[in-house]
């Protein structure tokens, strides 16, 4: 009837032989509480919830953009695509020398320098007959991930752009800066104008015949330079660990004729390797919450299956 603790000598009633010792509410380690084995319907609900959380985690780290336009120029190395009119020339660092030999002074100097120094990834040019300047679109890659673009970033970029262009252009003026959407990504757009001098004719030697059949260069004619009033449309588009600067250039007198082509090119731009959907703080918070909830649901599902098998 009674038992005595051999250590503290406390005497307490002995339980009947047919009564099981009670266990804690949690049962044994690694099992669900007694009487809490879920129904099949509850288990299916947990599986569905885990699937939804898994899809949410995939969505968080797999941002998708718009489909690629038909016939677009695709650059796999820098992960972008763009569509321009079919009659525009495609210029890269691999073929620009050949084009320069064909076009000579009609090849824009800024485009030539950018391609030769590999500052410009690709350029597109509409070759005009009997024109000193041909409109162009070029893309420069910035090998840094830009922060989330907002009004503060817009103002900072506008100041940097004005300082840089004001250094190389005469009468530079930033006309407008705004936030826009390109391929579902918040981007910065700038319109500006300025004047730039281009050499339209090389210096030529002037010869004088000093003796029969022999000529000597006595002087050189000065090179001919011409100042062009240019209109610029530039867009900064973020990518994954890089950013893209699209620059559309035409003479002020040409711009109205090519504005639609420039707008269409920007609208067609696609970022193949995309930046995260959110900033690092929001992404980290969402990731932690989703993984935590997903881990609990997976544990619950496994333990529930074990309980159903035992039942």
Tell me the domain boundaries of the chain: 30-63+277-311, 73-271
Which of 235 and 98 is assigned the larger pLDDT?
235
The secondary structure of the chain in percent helix, strand, coil, rounded to multiples of 5, reads 35, 30, 35
The residue-averaged pLDDT of 87-115 equals 67
Q: Output the CA torsion 254→258→260→265 (10° steps).
A: -140
Q: Output the CA torsion 85→91→95→101 (10° steps).
A: 100
The residue-averaged pLDDT of 222-248 equals 89
Does domain 73-271 sit in CATH 3.40.1000.10?
Answer: yes
Q: Residue 16: its pLDDT value, please?
A: 55
Note the pLDDT tens digit of each residue in 45-99.
777 877 777 776 666 566 678 899 999 999 999 999 999 999 998 888 777 666 6
Q: Which two tokens stand for residue 214?
A: 């022999």
| 145-170 as b/e: b if 16+ CB within 10 A | ebeebeeebbeebbeebbeebeeebe
Q: Residue 106: its pLDDT value, please?
A: 55
Q: Residue 74: its pLDDT value, please?
A: 95
Residue 140 and residue 119 in contact, taking contact as beta carbons nearer than 8 Å: yes
d(C-alpha 138, C-alpha 123), whole Å:
4
> Confidence band (pLDDT; 50, 70, 90) for 249?
very high
Q: Residue 52: its pLDDT value, please?
A: 79
Residue 205 and residue 181 in contact, taking contact as beta carbons nearer than 8 Å: no
Ranking 13-22, 203-212, 263-272, 292-301 by mean pLDDT, the lowest is: 13-22
How do strand 214-220 and strand 205-211 relate by DSSP bridges? antiparallel
What's the mean pLDDT when you consider all of the chain? 78
Residue 272 and residue 21 in contact, taking contact as beta carbons nearer than 8 Å: no
Note the pLDDT tens digit of each residue in 286-300.
677 777 777 777 777
Q: Which residue has the tokens 């020339």?
A: 89
Query: Edge to edge, what strands does the sheet with 80-82 contain?
Result: 73-75, 80-82, 270-271
Q: Which two tokens stand for residue 25?
A: 């509410």
Q: Which two tokens stand for residue 7?
A: 């250590």
pTM of the model: 0.66
> Confidence band (pLDDT; 50, 70, 90) for 153?
confident
């Amino acid at each position: 009837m009674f038992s005595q603790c051999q250590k503290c000598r406390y005497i307490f009633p002995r339980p009947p032989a047919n009564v099981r010792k009670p266990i804690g509410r949690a049962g044994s380690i690694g099992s669900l509480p007694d009487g809490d084995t879920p129904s099949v319907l509850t288990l299916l609900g947990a599986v569905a919830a885990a699937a939804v959380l898994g899809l949410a985690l995939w969505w968080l780290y797999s941002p998708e953009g718009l489909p690629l336009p038909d016939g677009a120029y695709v650059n796999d190395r820098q992960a972008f695509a763009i569509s321009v009119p079919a009659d525009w020339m495609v210029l890269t660092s691999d073929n620009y020398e050949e084009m320069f030999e064909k076009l000579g002074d009609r090849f824009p100097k800024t485009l030539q320098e950018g391609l030769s120094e590999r500052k410009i990834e690709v350029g597109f040019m509409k070759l005009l007959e009997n024109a000193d300047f041909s409109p162009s679109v070029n893309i420069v890659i910035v090998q840094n991930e830009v922060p989330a673009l907002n009004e503060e970033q817009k103002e900072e970029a506008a100041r940097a752009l004005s300082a840089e262009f004001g250094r190389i252009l005469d009468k530079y003026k930033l006309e407008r800066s705004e936030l826009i959407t390109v391929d579902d990504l918040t981007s910065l757009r700038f319109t500006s104008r300025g004047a730039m001098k281009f050499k339209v004719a090389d210096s030529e030697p002037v010869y004088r015949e000093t003796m029969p059949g022999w000529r000597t260069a006595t002087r050189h004619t000065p090179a001919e330079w011409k100042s062009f009033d240019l209109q610029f449309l530039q867009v900064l588009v973020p990518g994954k660990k890089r950013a893209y600067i699209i620059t559309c250039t035409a003479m002020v007198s040409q711009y109205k004729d090519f504005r639609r082509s420039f707008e269409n090119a920007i609208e067609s731009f696609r970022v193949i390797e995309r930046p995260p959907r959110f900033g690092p703080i929001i992404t980290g918070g969402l990731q932690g919450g989703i993984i935590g909830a997903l881990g609990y649901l997976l544990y619950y599902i496994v333990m529930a299956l074990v309980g159903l098998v035992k039942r």
